[in-house]
Amino acid sequence: MEERQAVAAFAALGQEHRFRVVRALVTAGPDGLAAGALATEVGVASTNLSFHLKELSHAGLITSRREGKSVIYSAAYAGLSDLIAFLMRDCCQGRPEVCAPAVAALSACDCLTGDPAHA
């Protein structure tokens, strides 16, 4: 990820509703959520949701797919991973203890254990 892309991603996440959308989609997993369910989950009117979804999509943080008459939105895990990697790329400067808390937090993620009850 280049700096320009990272700035766009952080700008998109810098708005409360968009931040909630990404968190809800990460929690929902790869199956994602239909637009109506997503609007209810994050507490934003469906009429305003499309604007927020467009911004997140342009930033590479979410994806969408059509299933019948519904549009299903999912977290773009590759984009989110790239953003985290961008932040951590130059971490430590030879001092691994600086990054240890971030690495421990990622290692503690239930999704890494393969436990579907907590993913």
Query: Has this prediction a pTM greater than 0.75?
Result: yes
3-state secondary structure (DSSP) of residue 30: coil
CA distances from 67 to 34, 73, 112 (A): 9, 10, 28
Answer for the pair 59, 9: CB distance below 8 angstroms, yes or no.
yes
Read off the pLDDT of residues 21-41 as tens digits, 9 standing for 90 and up: 999 999 999 999 999 999 999
Read off the pLDDT of residues 54-99 as tens digits, 9 standing for 90 and up: 999 999 999 999 999 999 999 999 999 899 888 887 777 777 788 7
How many C-beta atoms surround the C-beta of residue 32 within 10 A?
A: 21
Distance CA 83, CA 67 (A): 28
pLDDT at 9 exceeding the cut of 50: yes
* Residue type at position 89: R
3-state secondary structure (DSSP) of residue 62: strand
User: Between helices 77-88 and 96-107, what is the axis angle to 10°?
Assistant: 160
